[in-house]
């Protein structure tokens, strides 16, 4: 079994620096997330990924490639629609919308796997309750039934291409108004309402084979005083025990303002890992990533022992993709969206 560290970090540009090569070889680094700043062309990105693999062969390489506002790689890639486009179609033509969602899920995954990128953090399972601007058109719909139908089709497409799916943001980010990148959002609703509405897509997707989940940097004030990503109640009692989830739990980015409630970066990592996260993300702050790695060095097992196998399952499952099929599905999706 390969050993996979529990920290996911990032790199600055189109090529690795010597310092980044050194950091990627740290035993507690198990993942790397790419951003738009890392992309110039498919050829350049392929070279960057190959270089990363040479330095850290077992690393999980990720990106946010949902579609719409959240698509890091655009030129030379299919411009994926916001999921609201699929949601709107579902209202009148549900069968067509489900088929389109599956095609887009497959195409998104296939284009990334073709470059040896393991995962996109998708699909979004939040409800569009017309309150959260940060979710908004990223959602597959406003009702649990709509999100379940379309997100499960999207995941089916991802799985068919060979990519593991990550549902976010547990137990639901759709009600809060504040942006957790910039503030500490709160959701004042009781647990019963969240469980009956927002959690239903997560419950359903877990039953359908969801591979990973990312919790929200949101405090559900009537439930716990911690954000979901720092809460043993949400991650262990609800997610693991009540919902029976056995996949990977990724923290959301510990650099976000919503994570500041836990203190400094080592404290944030400690809180997330103690709560039940398998891998913690530290983005856009290499000095903070170094602080977290130093903290893990101080632990006896670095928190790795029971997490490594789960994380390793996030590697993509497809080594050779049919370029003709990618082109054909891309054409089909373009026609459907025209």
User: What is the DSSP secondary structure assignment for residue 127, as one 8-state letter?
Assistant: -
- What distance in Å separates the CA atoms of residue 185 and residue 180, rounded to the nearest whole number? 6
The residues that are catalytic are 181, 252
Q: Is the dihedral of CA 56, 6, 168, 161 positive or negative?
A: positive
Please answer whether residues 101 and 140 qualify as being in contact, where contact means their C-beta atoms are separated by less than 8 angstroms: yes
User: What is the DSSP secondary structure assignment for residue 234, as one 8-state letter?
Assistant: I
Instruction: Report CA-CA distances (Å) from 283 to 7, 8, 78, 286.
Output: 10, 8, 25, 7
Which residues touch 190 (CB under 8 Å, ≥6 apart)?
222, 223
Please answer whether residues 198 and 192 qualify as being in contact, where contact means their C-beta atoms are separated by less than 8 angstroms: no
Kind plus residue range of the DSSP H or E element containing 149? helix 144-161
Kind plus residue range of the DSSP H or E element containing 44? helix 42-55
Kind plus residue range of the DSSP H or E element containing 61? strand 60-63
């Amino acid at each position: 079994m390969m050993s996979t560290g529990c920290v996911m970090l990032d790199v600055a540009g189109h090529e690795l620096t010597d310092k980044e090569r050194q950091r990627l070889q740290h035993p507690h680094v198990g993942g790397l997330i790419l951003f738009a700043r890392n992309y110039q062309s498919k050829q350049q990105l392929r070279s960057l990924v190959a270089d990363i693999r040479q330095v850290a062969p077992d690393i999980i390489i990720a990106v946010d490639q949902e579609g719409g506002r959240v698509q890091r790689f655009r030129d030379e890639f299919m411009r994926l629609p916001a999921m609201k486009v699929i949601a709107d179609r579902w209202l009148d033509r549900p069968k067509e919308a489900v088929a389109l969602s599956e095609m887009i899920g497959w195409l998104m995954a296939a284009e990334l796997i073709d470059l040896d990128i393991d995962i996109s953090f998708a699909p979004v399972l939040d409800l569009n309750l017309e309150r959260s601007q940060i979710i908004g058109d990223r959602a597959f719909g406003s009702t649990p039934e709509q999100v379940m139908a379309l997100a499960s089709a999207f995941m089916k497409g991802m799985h068919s291409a060979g990519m593991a799916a990550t549902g976010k943001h547990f137990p639901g980010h759709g009600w809060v108004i504040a942006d957790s990148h910039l503030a500490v959002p709160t959701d004042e609703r009781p647990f019963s309402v969240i469980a009956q509405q927002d959690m239903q897509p997560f419950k359903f997707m877990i039953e359908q084979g969801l591979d990973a989940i990312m919790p929200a940097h949101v405090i559900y004030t009537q439930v716990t005083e911690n954000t979901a990503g720092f809460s043993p109640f949400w991650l262990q009692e609800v997610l693991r025990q009540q919902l029976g989830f056995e996949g990977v739990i990724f923290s959301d980015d510990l650099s976000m303002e919503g994570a500041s409630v836990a203190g400094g970066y080592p404290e944030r990592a400690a809180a997330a890992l103690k709560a039940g996260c398998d891998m913690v993300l530290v983005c856009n702050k290499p000095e903070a990533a170094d602080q977290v790695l130093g903290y893990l060095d101080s632990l006896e097992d670095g928190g790795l022992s029971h997490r490594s196998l789960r994380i390793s399952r996030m590697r993509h499952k497809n080594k050779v993709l049919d370029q003709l099929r990618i082109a054909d599905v891309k054409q089909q999706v373009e026609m459907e969206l025209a």
